Structure 1
Amino acid sequence: MDDRQRYDRATAHLDPPFAVLDLEALRSNASAMARRAGGKPIRVASKSIRSRPLLERILAMDGFAGIMAFTLPEALWLVSTGLRDVLVAYPTADRTALAELAADPVAAREITLMVDSADHLNLVDAAIGGLPHRHEIRICLDIDAGFVAFRGRFRAGAHRSPVRRPDQAADLAATIAKRPGFRLVGVMAYEAQIAGVGDDQPGNPALTRAVRLMQARSRRELLVRRGRVVQAVAQVADLEFVNGGGTGSIDLTAREKAVTEVAAGSGFFHPRLFDFYRGFTGRPAAMFALPVVRRPAPGVVTVLGGGYHASGPPGRDRLPHPYLPHGLRYAPGEGAGEVQTPLLGPATHDLRTGDRVWFRHAKAGELCERFTALHLIEGEEVVETVPTYRGEGRTFL
């Protein structure tokens, strides 16, 4: 029985649209990720999961420890439910959440904030200055891991921290160490240009060669620079962790002596954007079903909804991928629409009104912003239904 038949049979009692997660594929992906990490723990990126029960399930597997959250309110909520060791990957300007963090001894012990300048420390002090008693705030220093070449005229990687050199990192670490109420415990450097960019782009050999060249040079440069940054910061603070990497670079980042843990999230669901890497393969685990509601012309079917575009630079690679049945494509003049999506191709001939079309999202956790639940499939049946963040009434961004 192929996957389409299996998914159709397992969800026959459900009316689309809905989202599912194939548990066998999830376990296979998680096991492969843990092997790639070579014994170093993987911190689970919550933005790629966005379901508290799934976070708990993944953290119970061997090889995974800690959460990388995307907002402080999210981290506070996760800790309030019993989850522990939460690193907030992005700086926060949420004064209410900062006051809550400083007033709660459990949250202050379990949550680490991200900073890349003294301005962030000033903002925290301003937000919690009126508290009669504040708990010490754990701090992680964010380092720019982007690749810069041709005297700054070329850059690859996310625009994150202004801190790049060892001396800059040491200066900020010293500033943190002198500030009462803060404790520097970690360093993070996320190489988005390696971890988040596929090096096997189909149909574009020139781009593939350019990406591989850039990534090779970036790896060499970052290996040396990250080690020197960590060494410089360690002269000032007793570091508990050094975090780096992402799904696309787990094995490479884990080899660096300076790195104590890697971060990953997308690899669990293996969305469409992660099909294009040479170094690893995964199994599609998360997907959503939309119903066929029209047959407007021969060779055309229309499904309800579907305009679930992924974040990032606009382009066709940010659209959901019509996955099952194979052989479907978007109508050039319409693409994926808010309320309806026409699909073309030979597979339309066998689709009837009421049938399902299965889609894969381009990015992992963003799928969960469209659905309140994930139906977990084991074999040919749904064995559990778990809420997403939205299903628990939580919207953090």
Structure 2
Amino acid sequence: MHKQNGEWPIELPHYEQYKRIFAQTAKPFAYVNLDLLDANSRAIAAAAGDKKIRVASKSIRSVEVLRRILHSDKVYQGIMCYTAREAAFLLRHGFDDLLLGYPAWEPREISILLEAAASGRTVVFMVDSIQHVEHIERLAAATGVQAALCLDIDMSANYPGLHFGIWRSPVTTWALAKPIVERIMQSKWVRLDGVMGYEAQIAGVGDQVSGQWLKNSFIRHLKRRSIREVAERREEVLQGIHALGGELRFVNAGGTGSIGSSKLERGVTEITVGSGFYCPTLFDHYAGFQYLPAAGYAVEVVRKPRLDMVTCLGGGYTASGAVSAEKAPQPHLPEGLSLISLEGAGEVQTPLRCPSGLALELGDPIFFRHAKAGELCERFPKLYAITGEGIVDEYLTYRGEGECFL
């Protein structure tokens, strides 16, 4: 999605509008703006070209939001789950075509999913080693059902002195993938259903961060180089599988930040997208696209230690990953507020510096955006769903349904 003549294609809510909508809502609370969520869903569907989109549930963590996205366009097909227990939970809610994005090991949790597969549900297990394959094979044989597998190919790039990407699968080339594929083909209890390669260094690294011109240029250069290498490596794996007589149901690639490059690969059939629907702050810094801030949370002003400062109750919902300033939540509305560097967003209080001319009173809401997407839902039992000028529904999060998967 891009601005048109400097303006968004949909009007962004302002502070007074949000303040009116939530005037009777006890703080803290989390919300999802359905107008902005739907606009993001339309933009992502349009960006996908002829590829399908698999929704990454870890970036959503709400059954009702997942349903809304999946029903919004026929391009959305299937879910990438993040644990076996979550997959079982989603099956109970009626979802199907589930791909585990990470290897599962707990035997009972795998067996539950195998039993679901035996009853006709589509569940695919992620593997990146012969040990994974043989573990699932034993459980599948005991259940009496053939298990569908997806082979995770690591798409990180290694340059002199630099690992560009994330440490994921140990399988980086066809030479390393071939023994695993052959082992799968030898078994009657497992089958190779798909291949996945997540190019995190393209999909998950911002390249238009304010004040970092030199670093942005370097990252864009590395991304362009990596895009070529990823395509070549993935094609080599697909040709190798084809030469062995393998037929894949799907080839999964990418993430929110790599739709533009992933969709150009001939062998790719689907792209995984998650964060783009809520658009947390980490996804504000990409040159190629920009989505709308559809989800956030609010805390209230409880103190005014100085004329140019307010203090909120709570608010310290920091994102996972390497500890850095970019993982902190950011004040969103009213505009111009900033965190205090020595305190940040705190466990029980968050002081904020106010711009000149902004008058806030005790009890006023301050709206924040999380650095990541679905992690917001781990802190709140529900999302207030809003459109236009009002609250239209309350969507339970996983936490609100009594679940905590990781």
The TM tier, using the shorter chain, reads over 0.9
Query: How far apart in 2 are the matches of 1:39 and 1:19?
Result: 34
Query: How far apart in 1 are the matches of 2:281 and 2:72?
Result: 24
1:27 is matched with: 38
Query: How far apart in 1 are the matches of 2:151 and 2:241?
Result: 9
1:230 is matched with: 238
Query: How far apart in 2 are the matches of 1:294 and 1:254?
Result: 50
Secondary structure of the residue that 1:43 maps to in structure 2?
strand
1:80 is matched with: 92
Task: Give the aligned residue type for 1:154.
Answer: L
Quote how far apart the aligned CAs of 1:126 are: 5.2
Query: How far apart in 2 are the matches of 1:111 and 1:7?
Result: 40
Quote how far apart the aligned CAs of 1:167 are: 2.4
2:317 is matched with: 308
Query: How far apart in 2 are the matches of 1:169 and 1:50?
Result: 32
Query: How far apart in 1 are the matches of 2:198 and 2:117?
Result: 29
**Alignment pair present for 1:285 and 2:294:** yes
**Alignment pair present for 1:99 and 2:130:** no
Match of 2:190 among 182, 198, 208: 182
Secondary structure of the residue that 1:112 maps to in structure 2?
strand
Query: How far apart in 2 are the matches of 1:80 and 1:282?
Result: 31
Match of 2:216 among 208, 212, 219: 208
Where does structure 1 lack aligned partners over 5 or more consecutive residues?
none
Secondary structure of the residue that 1:350 maps to in structure 2?
coil
2:367 is matched with: 358
Where does structure 2 lack aligned partners over 5 or more consecutive residues?
1-11
Secondary structure of the residue that 2:288 maps to in structure 1?
coil
2:350 is matched with: 341
- Between 318-327 and 107-116, report the one with greater CA deviation: 107-116
- CA deviations on 1:221-245 (whole Å, 9 max, x unpaired) are 1111111111112333210000001
Quote how far apart the aligned CAs of 1:108 are: 6.7
Query: How far apart in 2 are the matches of 1:119 and 1:278?
Result: 41
Task: Give the aligned residue type for 2:316.
Answer: G
| Mapping for residues 105-120 of structure 1, pairs under 5 Å | 105=117, 109-120=121-132
Query: How far apart in 2 are the matches of 1:97 and 1:264?
Result: 25
- Between 235-244 and 95-104, report the one with greater CA deviation: 95-104
Query: How far apart in 2 are the matches of 1:347 and 1:111?
Result: 55
**Alignment pair present for 1:145 and 2:178:** no
Q: Are the counterparts in 2 of residues 291 and 355 from structure 1 also a CA contact under 8 Å?
A: yes
- Between 94-103 and 106-115, report the one with greater CA deviation: 106-115
Query: How far apart in 2 are the matches of 1:233 and 1:108?
Result: 26
1:390 is matched with: 399
- CA deviations on 1:122-161 (whole Å, 9 max, x unpaired) are 33345566x4x421111000001001123xx321111111
Q: Are the counterparts in 2 of residues 108 and 136 from structure 1 also a CA contact under 8 Å?
A: no
Secondary structure of the residue that 1:209 maps to in structure 2?
helix
2:203 is matched with: 195
Quote how far apart the aligned CAs of 1:250 are: 0.6
Q: Are the counterparts in 2 of residues 10 and 382 from structure 1 also a CA contact under 8 Å?
A: yes
1:64 is matched with: 76
- Return closer, same or farther for 1:390/1:328 CA change in 2, 3 Å cut-off: same
Task: Give the aligned residue type for 2:86.
Answer: E
Q: Are the counterparts in 1 of residues 207 and 286 from structure 2 also a CA contact under 8 Å?
A: yes
Query: How far apart in 2 are the matches of 1:359 and 1:370?
Result: 13
TM-score by length of 1: 0.96
Q: Are the counterparts in 2 of residues 290 and 306 from structure 1 also a CA contact under 8 Å?
A: yes
Quote how far apart the aligned CAs of 1:381 are: 0.2
1:3 is matched with: 14
Match of 1:323 among 315, 321, 332: 332
Quote how far apart the aligned CAs of 1:255 are: 0.9
Q: Are the counterparts in 2 of residues 109 and 138 from structure 1 also a CA contact under 8 Å?
A: no
- Between 55-64 and 100-109, report the one with greater CA deviation: 100-109
Quote how far apart the aligned CAs of 1:271 are: 0.6
Query: How far apart in 1 are the matches of 2:294 and 2:237?
Result: 37
- Between 4-13 and 380-389, report the one with greater CA deviation: 4-13
Number of aligned pairs? 393
Query: How far apart in 2 are the matches of 1:261 and 1:4?
Result: 38
Identity %: 44
- CA deviations on 1:309-338 (whole Å, 9 max, x unpaired) are 001111110000111111111112111111
Quote how far apart the aligned CAs of 1:101 are: 2.0
Task: Give the aligned residue type for 1:66.
Answer: G
Quote how far apart the aligned CAs of 1:348 are: 8.2
Match of 1:49 among 51, 56, 60: 60
**Alignment pair present for 1:243 and 2:255:** no
Quote how far apart the aligned CAs of 1:302 are: 0.7
Query: How far apart in 1 are the matches of 2:220 and 2:405?
Result: 35
Query: How far apart in 2 are the matches of 1:88 and 1:234?
Result: 23
Query: How far apart in 2 are the matches of 1:2 and 1:396?
Result: 33
Query: How far apart in 2 are the matches of 1:348 and 1:329?
Result: 14
1:269 is matched with: 278
Q: Are the counterparts in 1 of residues 81 and 87 from structure 2 also a CA contact under 8 Å?
A: yes
Query: How far apart in 2 are the matches of 1:347 and 1:50?
Result: 38
Match of 2:229 among 217, 221, 225: 221
- Between 42-51 and 235-244, report the one with greater CA deviation: 235-244
Task: Give the aligned residue type for 2:321.
Answer: G
